[in-house]
Structure 1
C-alpha cells in the first residue's frame, strides 16, 4: 500500500502547504510490514523545502524592515515640503510651534538648508528652493520626478504595501516554523516506530530459536 502524501491539501493564504501530523504511524505507512526508507526520504525532502522557504522569507523580512523606515523618512520629508508650500511652516517631528510657523509665514520663499545622504557615512549640505516637484528613487537606478501630491500618494501606497507584505511575511514565517516542527516530529515518530518494530522482530526470532533448541 502506498504511503499518504507528505503535504496536506490545506494551505495558508500565501499557498504554503500544511504538514499533517501523523497520529498513527502504522496506518500512515500502510501496515506493519511497510518500508520506511521512502517515507523518511520524503520527509527529509519536505524539511529541505520548508527550510528553503524559511530562509527566503527571513531574508525578505530583513529587507522590508530596512526598507520601511526609509519610505517613512522620505514620506515625512515630502509632506514637510508640501506644508511649507501651503504656508504651514511645520518642522518635521514637531507640532504646534507657533513661533516657527509665524517665521516661515513671513518669508515663505526663504531657501531651506538641509543635509542629504550621499553614502552610508557621507552627507552634503544643500539649499532647497521652493518647488512643487520632487525626485524619487524607484530602484534599479531609476529616478523619476513627481509633483508633491503625487509623490505623497505614491509613497503612502508603497508604505502600505510594504507594511502589508511585512505582516504577511512574519505570519508565513510563524506558519513555516510550525510546519517544520511538525515534520521533524513526524520523522522522529516514523524512525522510532521502525526501531521498535525491528527490536520486536528480533525478540520474536530469538524466542523462536530458543523454542526450537528446546524441542531438539
Structure 2
C-alpha cells in the first residue's frame, strides 16, 4: 500500500489525477470516485475553516502578548531606574469601556492571567521570560497556520480539478458509447 504524503503538520496531500482510467474501474465506477473526491474536498474545507479560526485567534492574541510584554519591560526599567519618584500614575482597563486611575509602586512582581480564571504572581524576570516564550510560540503557530492555509487551498484546487477531469472523462465516455450504439 502506498504511503500518503503529508505536510509537516500531517495534512495529507491530494493526488493529482493524470490518467482517469487509473481511478475508475468496474469495482470503482465514476460515481464512487466522484463521491470520494467530494468527501475529500469537504474534509479539506473543514480543515481550512478551522485553520482560519485559529489564525484569527492568534492574530488577536499576539498583539495582546506584545502589549503585556512591553508593560513588563517598562516596569523593569522603572524598578531599575534612579527616579526619585518610583510611583507611577496610570489608567487601567476594568471593562471594555471602563477605566480607572491608579498609583503604582514597582514591586518587582506582576500578576498574569493564565486563562480559565487563573492568575499567578511572577517576578518581572520570570514574567518577561514567560511572555517572550509565549510570543515566540504564538508567532510560530501563526506562521504554521498561514502555511497550512496555503497548503489546504492548493489541495482543494487539486481535488476540484480532479473532480472536473473525472466528470469530463465520464461525459466523453458516455458520448463515445452513444456514438457506437448509433453506428451499430
Q: TM-score, normalised by structure 1?
A: 0.81
Q: Across the two proteins, how many residue pairs are aligned to each other?
A: 184
1:102 corresponds in structure 2 to none
Q: Distance in 2 between matches of 1:167 and 1:39?
A: 34
Q: Does the aligned pair in 2 maintain the 1:84–1:108 contact within 8 Å? A: no
Pairwise CA RMSD: 1.7
2:160 corresponds in structure 1 to 184
1:38 corresponds in structure 2 to 32
1:95-118 Cα offsets, whole Å, 9 max, x none, are xxxxxxxxxx34143x10111112
- Determine if the alignment matches structure 1 residue 28 to structure 2 residue 4: no
Could you say if the C-alpha distance between residues 56 and 118 of structure 1 is closer, same or farther in structure 2, counting changes exceeding 3 Å?
same
Q: Does the aligned pair in 1 maintain the 2:23–2:33 contact within 8 Å? A: no
Alignment of 1:54-69 (within 5 A): 54-69=48-63
Query: How big is the shift at 1:27?
Result: 2.3
Q: Does the aligned pair in 2 maintain the 1:29–1:35 contact within 8 Å? A: yes
Q: Does the aligned pair in 1 maintain the 2:51–2:149 contact within 8 Å? A: yes
1:121-148 Cα offsets, whole Å, 9 max, x none, are 2221111112111000111111111011
Structure showing greater radius of gyration is 1
Query: How big is the shift at 1:30?
Result: 3.8
Candidates 4, 25, 38, aligned match of 1:9: 4
Candidates 105, 109, 112, aligned match of 2:88: 112
Structure 2: runs of 5 or more not aligned: none
Candidates 118, 131, 141, aligned match of 1:155: 131
1:130-186 Cα offsets, whole Å, 9 max, x none, are 211100011111111101100000000000000000000000000000000000000
- Determine if the alignment matches structure 1 residue 81 to structure 2 residue 58: no
2:146 corresponds in structure 1 to 170
Query: How big is the shift at 1:59?
Result: 0.2
- Determine if the alignment matches structure 1 residue 53 to structure 2 residue 47: yes
